[in-house]
C-alpha cells in the first residue's frame, strides 16, 4: 500500500514552520554569544513567537517544527518566568517607603501626565530619567509642594532627578559624557525613622555592549561604597534574566526588590520587556512592584513599595567611603 501523498501546500507549510523554528532557536541561543546581548533581552517576544509557531505546527502535523519549538519555549520559559510576578509575589509587611520610578522619555510631548501621575500616587520619593531641564521644566516645578526636596545632576547633563518629601543631600553624580559612567545620581534621604541612600541611574543601550558592561561594572563598584541601606532604581536597558543584570547584582551586593511586568515599549505590551528595575541592599525588602499607566513615555512607570531596616537618621556620607564627585548643583 503506497503512503498517502502530502499536498504540496502542506509540505511547503511544514518547511516554512521548520525554518521558523530553527530561526527561533538561533535567536534564543545568540544571546549567549559575546557581542550579541540584544538577543538575550528579547526572550518574552520569543515566547510569544514560539507559542504562535506551536499553534500553527500542530494542525499541519509539522512535528519536527513542533518539537524544536517546544524545546525553545522550555529554554526561554526557564529563564524568563522566575523573573515575572507570577502567583502570589507580594511580600508580607507594612510599607515604610513608596517610590515611583519613571523614564519620562526625552521626546515626551505630554510631560504633564508625569506630573498628574505623581500627584495621584503621592509616593515618598521619585526617580525620574531623561528630564530635559530640571530647573526650568514647568511640569516639574509644579511638583515642588508635593516634593519640596530635589537633587539633580547639577551642571553636568545626565537626565536623572531625585524627588523627595524628606530632606535630601547629594552624595555624588556623573554626566552622560563622562564615559564609562552611566547617568547617575546618589543622595541621602533623611527619613525620620532612619536615613537611606537613594540612587537613580540610566545605562546605555545594548547596541553598545562594551560600554554598557563598563557602566554596569562602574555602577556596582560605586554602590558598594555608598552608605546603607541603599535603594537603586534605573533603566538598565537590560532584562532581569540577562547576564548584565546578574553580574550587577553579584558585584554590587544588591538584590532585586520585587518582580514586575514589562515596562518597555508601551506600544508593545504585553510582549515587551522589563528593563526598569529596582534593587536594594541587605535589609531592604520590596513588598511589590506595580507597573502603572501611560504617561506619554515609551516606558511605563513602576511603583515600588518597600520596607527598610530600622535605624536612626544618618548624615549623608556616614557609613560609606565613596568620595563626592559633585557636591553642589
30-40 pLDDT tens trace: 988 877 889 99
For residue range 171-224, list pLDDT tens digits in order: 988 765 566 678 899 999 999 989 999 999 999 999 888 999 999 999 999 999
pLDDT tens digit string along 37-77?
899 999 999 999 999 999 999 998 999 999 999 999 999 99
Query: Do 110 and 133 belong to one domain?
Result: yes
**302 pLDDT more than 50:** yes
Show the DSSP H helices in the chain as ranges: 8-30, 43-57, 63-80, 112-121, 138-141, 209-225, 243-252
User: Is 101's pLDDT higher than 80?
Assistant: yes
What is residue 42's predicted lDDT score, i.e. its pLDDT?
94
In a domain, 104, yes or no: yes
- 124 and 174 belong to one structural domain: yes
DSSP 38: G
Instruction: Return the pLDDT at 318.
Output: 44
CATH number of the domain within which 200 lies: 3.60.10.10
The predicted pLDDT at position 320 comes to 44
pLDDT of residue 313: 47
Same domain, residue pair 17 and 62: yes
Q: pLDDT, tens digit, for every residue of 223-255? A: 999 998 999 999 999 999 999 999 999 999 999
My answer on whether 297 and 156 are in the same domain is yes
pLDDT in tens, 102-134: 999 989 999 999 999 999 999 999 999 999 777
Q: Higher-confidence residue: 321 or 139?
A: 139
CA 244, CA 221: separation in Å to the nearest integer?
14
Boundary of a domain, candidates 20, 52, 83: 83
Residues 75, 219 within the same domain: no
The residue among 83, 114, 131 that closes a domain is 83
Question: Quick check: 302 and 101 in contact, CB under 8 A?
Answer: yes
Give me the phi and psi of 127, to 5 degrees please: -120, 120
User: Which residues does residue 170 pair with via DSSP β-bridges, in sequence order?
Assistant: 187
Rounded to a whole number of angstroms, the CA Rg of the chain reads 23
- Note whether residue 244 is domain-resident: yes
pLDDT for residue 91 is more than 80: no
Q: Are 307 and 296 in contact (CB under 8 A)?
A: no
Q: What is the pLDDT of residue 127?
A: 98
Q: Are residues 115 and 45 in the same domain?
A: no
State the total domains in the chain: 2
Task: Report the pLDDT value the prediction gives residue 7, as an integer from 0 to 100.
Answer: 67
Examine residue 176 and state whether it is found in any structural domain, yes or no.
yes
Residue 26: is its pLDDT beyond 80? yes
With a pLDDT cut of 70, the percent of the chain lying above it is 86
**pLDDT score for 172:** 85
| E strand intervals along the chain | 97-103, 125-129, 149-151, 161-164, 168-174, 183-189, 196-202, 230-235, 255-256, 276-280, 285-291, 302-307
CA distance 163 to 144: 9
Which cell numbers in the block locate residue 193? 525613622
Range of the domain at 220: 97-307
The answer to whether the CB of 13 falls within 8 A of the CB of 62 is yes
pLDDT, tens digit (0-9, with 9 covering 90-100), for 263-286: 999 987 788 999 999 999 999 999
Cα dihedral 122→175→203→227 (10° resolution): -60
| Bridge partners, residue 173, by sequence | 185
pLDDT digits (tens, 9 = 90+) for 147-162: 999 999 876 678 899 9
Find the mean pLDDT for residues 78-94: 77
- Torsional sign, CA 250, 256, 260, 265: negative
Provide long-range contacts, Cβ within 8 A and 24+ apart, for 42-48.
42/273, 43/76, 43/79, 43/80, 43/239, 43/241, 44/80, 44/262, 44/271, 44/272, 44/273, 45/271, 45/273, 46/72, 46/76, 47/73, 47/76, 47/77, 47/80, 48/271
Amino acid at each position: 500500500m503506497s503512503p498517502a501523498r502530502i499536498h504540496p501546500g502542506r509540505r511547503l507549510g511544514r518547511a516554512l514552520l521548520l525554518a521558523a523554528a530553527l530561526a527561533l532557536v538561533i535567536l534564543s541561543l545568540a544571546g549567549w554569544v559575546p557581542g550579541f546581548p540584544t538577543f538575550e533581552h528579547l526572550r518574552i517576544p520569543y515566547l510569544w513567537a514560539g507559542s504562535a509557531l506551536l499553534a500553527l505546527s500542530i494542525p499541519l502535523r509539522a512535528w519536527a517544527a513542533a518539537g524544536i519549538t517546544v524545546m525553545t519555549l522550555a529554554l526561554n520559559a526557564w529563564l524568563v518566568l522566575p523573573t515575572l510576578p507570577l502567583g502570589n509575589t507580594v511580600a508580607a509587611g507594612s510599607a515604610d517607603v513608596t517610590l515611583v520610578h519613571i523614564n519620562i522619555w526625552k521626546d515626551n510631548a505630554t510631560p504633564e501626565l508625569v506630573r498628574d501621575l505623581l500627584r495621584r500616587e503621592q509616593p515618598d520619593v521619585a526617580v525620574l530619567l531623561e528630564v530635559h531641564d530640571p530647573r526650568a521644566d514647568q511640569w516639574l516645578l509644579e511638583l515642588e509642594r508635593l516634593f519640596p526636596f530635589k537633587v539633580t545632576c547639577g551642571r553636568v547633563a545626565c537626565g536623572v532627578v531625585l524627588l523627595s518629601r524628606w530632606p535630601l543631600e547629594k552624595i555624588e553624580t556623573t554626566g552622560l559624557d563622562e564615559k564609562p559612567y552611566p547617568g547617575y545620581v546618589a543622595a541621602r534621604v533623611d527619613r525620620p525613622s532612619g536615613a537611606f541612600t537613594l540612587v537613580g541611574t540610566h545605562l546605555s543601550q545594548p547596541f553598545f555592549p562594551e560600554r554598557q558592561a563598563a557602566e554596569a561594572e562602574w555602577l556596582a563598584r560605586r554602590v558598594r561604597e555608598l552608605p546603607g541601606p541603599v535603594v537603586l532604581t534605573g533603566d538598565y536597558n537590560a532584562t532581569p534574566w540577562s547576564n548584565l543584570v546578574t553580574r550587577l547584582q553579584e558585584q554590587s551586593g544588591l538584590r532585586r526588590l520585587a518582580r514586575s511586568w514589562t515596562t518597555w515599549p508601551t506600544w508593545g505590551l504585553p510582549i515587551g520587556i522589563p528593563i526598569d528595575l529596582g534593587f536594594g541592599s541587605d535589609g531592604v525588602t520590596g513588598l511589590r512592584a506595580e507597573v502603572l499607566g501611560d504617561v506619554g513615555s515609551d516606558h511605563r512607570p513602576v511603583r515600588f513599595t518597600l520596607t527598610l531596616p530600622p535605624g536612626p537618621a544618618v548624615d549623608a556620607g556616614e557609613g560609606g567611603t565613596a568620595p563626592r564627585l559633585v557636591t553642589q548643583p
